[in-house]
Amino acid sequence: MIPLLFAFLATPDPCSYLPEQEVRQVFEIHEMTPIRVVRADSCSYLWMGLPPTGQQLREALMAGRHVPPRANESLSIRIEPVAHAIKELDARFEKLLKGYSVDRDGQELKVKPQNLQWVPNVGEKAFWNDSLNQLVVARKNELVSFVVKKPGKPQADVMNLAITAAQAAMRKP
């Protein structure tokens, strides 16, 4: 019984779900662009995005906005072992959708309702959190979250990149 418990608690390396070469492919990162890998309780890939296009520069100037900078972009993958992944995912969806309160050091902090949507065809079940650029996927006995930062990209494009990354990662056993 104890070895089974330890097997459940052993979390796989999140970087093994989507190795650097696949990140480059999904996010169309040129092989000469350096990627920094940060490992903690998650796996984060960080790289410098492309400079703004001529069209982006023209739009910014015409609207009187500052010229968009070349920004850092990233993908973070986090794996959380849970006993009943789909049930936990449903509970988190409902909690985030409605908002909730948390007691922190004797103060009540309110977490506002999040803009969420279910995402089909990813893992066993998945939802997108627009506020965090986060896709949360239930798979077997784990929740896998993908957080994508692509400043200047439309939200739909960011969500589609997260879905593509998750689908590639979920092909792993």
- Rounded to a whole number of angstroms, the CA Rg of the chain reads 18
Query: Per-residue pLDDT tens for 116-159?
Result: 999 999 999 999 999 999 999 999 899 999 999 988 789 999 99
Query: Per-residue pLDDT tens for 79-103?
Result: 999 999 999 999 999 999 999 998 8
Closest CA to 22 of 45, 50, 51: 45
> How far apart, in whole angstroms, are the C-alpha atoms of residue 2 and residue 5?
5
Q: Are 60 and 67 in contact (CB under 8 A)?
A: yes
Is pLDDT above 90 for 60?
no
E strand spans, 23-91: 36-39, 43-48, 72-81
Predicted confidence at residue 67, as pLDDT, reads: 57
Domain boundaries, the chain: 15-170
